[in-house]
Amino acid sequence: MPGEKANAAGEALLHRLRRLLARAANVKSGDRKQLLALLDDVETTRRGLVRQAAEIDGEMRQATVRTTAIGAYLRNSQGGRGKRHN
């Protein structure tokens, strides 16, 4: 199921972000190479999280549309069952 895959990928990205934060706490301010590598890794992880958030947003929109369509279908299907008032 796509939602489960997205959830697993999102969890992996969050875990990676936590590791990067721990790594950032240990980097010395004068170590330019490590700081640049860390910034690059953080930016890559951030882009991945933004992409996952967009996918989740799309899935939520799709679920809302489906829910609305199901509600409309139910309302229309029950319309013919009621008593007729002439």
On whether residue 82 sits in a domain, the answer given is no
On whether residue 77 sits in a domain, the answer given is no
Count: domains in the chain: 1
Cα distances (Å, whole numbers) of residue 78 to 7, 83, 84, 85 = 37, 11, 12, 15
On whether residue 76 sits in a domain, the answer given is no
On whether residue 12 sits in a domain, the answer given is yes
Q: What is the pLDDT of residue 54?
A: 93
Q: Is the pTM of this model over 0.75?
A: no
Containing domain of residue 54, as a range?
A: 2-68
On whether residue 85 sits in a domain, the answer given is no
pLDDT tens digits, residue range 31-86? Answer: 889 888 988 999 998 998 899 899 999 999 999 999 999 999 998 887 766 555 55
On whether residue 83 sits in a domain, the answer given is no
Q: How many CA atoms lie within 13 A of 74 on its CB side?
A: 6
For residues 59 and 2, is the Cβ–Cβ distance under 8 A? Answer: yes
On whether residue 80 sits in a domain, the answer given is no
On whether residue 42 sits in a domain, the answer given is yes
